[in-house]
Amino acid sequence: MRTILPFIMAAWIVIPTVSCSQVGKDSMSSVQLAPGVSQKLVLEANLGAPPPVGWKWRVQERTRPKGGDVTRHTDSALYYTLEEIHEIVRGDTVEIFPRGQAVFVPAGLEHIHRMLPLGSALRTFEIYFAPGDGSRPSQGADVRPLYFSEKAMEVVPGVTYTIRVVEVTLLPGARRDLTPRELQINYVLEGEMTRRAGDQVLRYEPSSVLKLPIGGTPFTASNESTTPMRLLVVDLVPASASAPPR
């Protein structure tokens, strides 16, 4: 069976503003990668402990035709720059995140989103950690919703979680065997990803979102096209976990 998916929510469906000393490293020596596969850490940040009702994933793309309004989110949020340059202003502090970089903004932190060059249309991939008892929000004209959890994530109350964002590249013909072990969101940035699990074959194009539940079915992610494929792997793990991202 062969299915083309522009974006999908299937049964298994495929960080304070924080600076991290590891951000932007092109490889992680402790990770054994298959031939033709490379990865780099984009961001690792402390998400904190979940509220009593837990969290839900709220995943979207946003195009900001203007900026400069002061914002204070009730939910913590991850922003990954897809196009142009993302500028975050907090008081007298200005931080710049070019294409391919990410920033995590905790709940309640007053900030301003701006784009560079001024007047351009900033485009971002965003994940909000919505309350576990929340309902699907209404979306503005500048938002493209990709995924919203129907149920709260399986997180442990009182445990501090880390959000880890890794960019993975598969060259043509490369493959990667995966067994979901953490709460994870995958987002295809470029190219086409093929997922094989037994006799099932699914293909995911750019802007596809895949949610991998703990203990999900093992599968093979591969690039069967003639051009490189890139995806973001967003893991939510207990802060005490020492295992490197996969």
Residues 28-63 as b/e (b if ≥16 CB within 10 A, e otherwise) read eeeeeeeebbbbbbbbbbbbbebeeebbbbbbbbbb
Structure-token match 């020596």, residue found:
29
Q: Quick one: pLDDT at residue 173?
A: 96
pLDDT tens-digit series, residues 173-229? 999 887 777 788 999 999 999 988 778 888 999 999 987 776 777 888 899 999 999
What is the arithmetic mean of pLDDT over 148-172?
94
Domains observed in the chain: 2-238 (2.60.120.10)
Structure-token match 């009702």, residue found:
53
Q: Is 172 left (phi over 0), alpha (psi -120 to 50) or beta?
A: beta
Residues 86 and 80: their CA atoms lie apart, in Å, by: 9
Beta-sheet strands, E only, within the chain:
2-5, 37-48, 55-64, 70-72, 77-83, 85-90, 93-97, 102-105, 110-116, 122-131, 143-148, 161-170, 175-178, 183-190, 193-197, 200-204, 209-212, 219-222, 229-238
pLDDT tens-digit series, residues 11-70? 333 333 443 433 444 444 456 788 999 999 999 999 999 999 999 999 999 998 766 677
| DSSP label at residue 118 | T
Q: What is the mean pLDDT of the chain?
A: 83
pLDDT tens-digit series, residues 185-199? 999 999 999 988 778
Cβ neighbours for 71, distance < 8 A, ≥ 6 positions apart: 110, 111, 112, 113
Asked if omega into 117 is within 30° of 0 (cis), the reply is yes
| DSSP label at residue 206 | T
Q: With contact defined as beta carbons under 8 Å apart, do 79 and 102 qualify?
A: yes
